[in-house]
Structure formats: structure tokens, C-alpha cells
């Protein structure tokens, strides 16, 4: 247990420095420390362009990622921003598919929102402003990944210091609005891992930076483009033209369906 806690602590340091090594930069530069969330910046000028990788070869369906996300964002038990689906592989064995918001480069949810509550920040993360959301659920109907969730009930109570909910950290959630995975931008902008990545004991989840061409699961850092190419990574329902930023590595004959 002590070694596991130590690994968790070290993972944050690796997240700050390791991607520079994978991308061919100087390891001393804390390349994954993002900008202040409120600072206006264009996508071209943004220092990071976030992506995500799920290595299905490692996932054992434990749902620790789901629980870590729920705990981090004070979600109700029925609110799962990252779901783990069961799959039957080609050889007949049971496999698992964690599925979160795909943070599409061409997100259909954004186009249909009548009040502009859904938006994409400069670093490519799709967010929801619950102060603007009117709860029409049009975005839920438009999302081909079923990655959005309506808050039917009052959310669990969060610590009082978290009462000022914002798109980058929507805690607590608001009844009558839509919530979703935010790729833990409140963590990545200060060099920390998303809750699901840090909570995965199988090291199956990676957060990546397309600009640095690097990704980490908190224990190892890889060159993102090489990792995706050498492992034949795919994107879920890519044929829809949404251009997801979540990549899946198969390896067991799975089909990306649930």
C-alpha cells in the first residue's frame, strides 16, 4: 500500500516533466503546466491540445476510474461520467470498454445547443456552462456516444468551498442541467492527472497532449503518435465525422460497440 501511494505521488511529478522527454524536449521544463483557465487564448496559441488513450488490453472492468471520477466531482451514484461497458471479444471472452466524453473536434452537441451552454475551450476540451444551460437536453440527443447526463435530482452536497460552480470544475452539479466528463481540466491546467487516470490500478488510461506528442498514465510516458501507430489505435464511431480525441487500443479482437 505504501508503494502504491508513493507511485501516485510520483505520477504527478512525471506528468509535469515526463512529456517533455517523450516529445524530445528538455525534461527540466514543466511542459504540462497549463495556462490559467480564465485567460483568453486561441486554439492556435494554446500550449496544450488534450487527448486521451484507453488501452483495452489492460482494462479489467474494475470501475475504479468511475469511482475516482465520482469522488472528485461529487457526483451521485447514478451519475457516471466514465462508464465501463462489457464486450464479448471475437474469441468469446469478456472484455471491457471504458467510455467517456470523446471531446470531439467536431462536436455535434455544441452545434445544437440553443443557448451556447456547450462550448469547446482553447485546449480542445468540450465543457458545459451550467449557469447558462436550460436543460433542454438537445445536446444529449445529438451526442452519438451517450456521454451526457441530465441532473434530475439535487446533487450530493459538496464542501462549502466548492459552491462557486464553473464549467472547468462544475461542482456541485445543478439540478435541471446537463453534466459530462470535463477531462479534469481543473487538474491538467496545474500539471495533475485526471481523476480516472490516477485512479486506474491497471494503468490502462492515458492523458495525452497532441502538441507535445506525449501521453502518460502516471507511471510511464510515451510518445503519443508512435504509441497510437504501433498499437493500431482506433477512434470510436470515427465514421460519423466527429473527430474524437479519445483513442482506443484493442488487441483482443474487441469491437467498439456496447
Digit-by-digit pLDDT tens for the chain (258 residues) are: 334 443 444 444 454 444 544 444 333 222 333 333 444 678 888 999 999 999 999 999 999 999 999 999 999 999 999 999 998 877 778 889 999 999 999 999 999 999 999 999 999 999 999 999 999 999 999 999 999 999 999 999 888 666 567 999 999 999 999 999 999 999 999 999 999 999 999 999 999 999 999 999 999 999 999 999 999 999 999 999 999 999 999 975 556 654
Helix or strand holding residue 20 (H, E): helix 2-22
Terminal-residue alpha carbon distance, the chain: 34
What is the tens place of the pLDDT at every residue in 86-107? 988 777 788 899 999 999 999 9
Contact indicator for 218, 234 with CB cutoff of 8 Å: no
2-249: CATH number = 3.30.70.20
Q: Are 131 and 116 in contact (CB under 8 A)?
A: no
Dihedral sign (CA 183, 123, 205, 91) = positive
Beta bridge partners of 53: 206, 247
Can you give the pTM of this predicted structure? 0.83
* CA angle (101 as vertex; 113, 159 as ends), nearest 5: 90
65-80 residue pLDDT tens: 999 999 999 999 999 9
Amino acid at each position: 500500500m505504501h508503494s502504491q501511494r508513493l507511485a501516485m505521488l510520483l505520477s504527478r511529478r512525471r506528468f509535469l516533466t515526463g512529456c517533455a522527454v517523450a516529445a524530445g524536449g528538455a525534461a527540466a521544463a514543466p511542459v504540462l503546466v497549463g495556462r490559467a483557465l480564465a485567460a483568453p487564448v486561441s486554439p492556435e496559441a494554446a500550449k496544450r491540445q488534450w487527448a486521451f488513450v484507453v488501452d483495452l488490453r489492460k482494462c479489467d472492468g474494475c470501475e475504479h476510474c468511475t469511482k475516482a471520477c465520482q469522488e472528485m466531482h461529487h457526483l451521485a451514484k447514478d451519475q457516471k461520467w466514465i462508464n465501463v461497458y462489457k464486450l464479448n471479444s471475437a474469441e468469446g471472452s469478456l472484455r471491457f470498454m471504458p467510455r467517456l466524453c470523446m471531446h470531439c473536434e467536431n462536436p455535434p452537441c455544441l452545434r445544437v445547443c440553443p443557448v451556447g451552454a456547450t462550448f469547446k475551450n482553447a485546449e480542445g476540451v468540450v465543457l458545459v456552462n451550467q449557469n447558462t444551460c436550460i436543460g433542454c437536453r438537445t445536446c444529449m440527443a445529438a451526442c452519438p456516444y451517450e456521454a451526457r447526463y441530465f441532473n434530475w435530482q439535487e446533487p450530493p452536497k459538496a464542501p462549502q468551498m466548492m459552491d462557486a460552480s464553473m464549467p472547468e470544475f462544475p461542482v456541485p452539479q445543478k439540478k435541471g442541467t446537463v453534466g459530462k466528463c470535463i477531462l479534469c481540466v481543473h487538474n491538467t491546467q496545474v500539471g495533475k492527472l485526471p481523476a480516472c487516470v490516477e485512479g486506474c490500478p491497471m494503468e490502462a488510461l492515458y492523458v495525452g497532449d497532441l502538441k507535445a506528442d506525449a501521453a502518460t498514465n502516471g507511471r510511464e510516458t510515451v510518445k503519443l503518435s508512435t504509441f497510437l501507430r504501433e498499437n493500431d489505435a482506433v477512434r470510436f464511431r470515427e465514421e460519423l465525422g466527429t473527430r474524437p480525441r479519445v483513442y482506443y487500443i484493442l488487441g483482443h479482437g474487441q469491437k467498439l460497440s456496447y
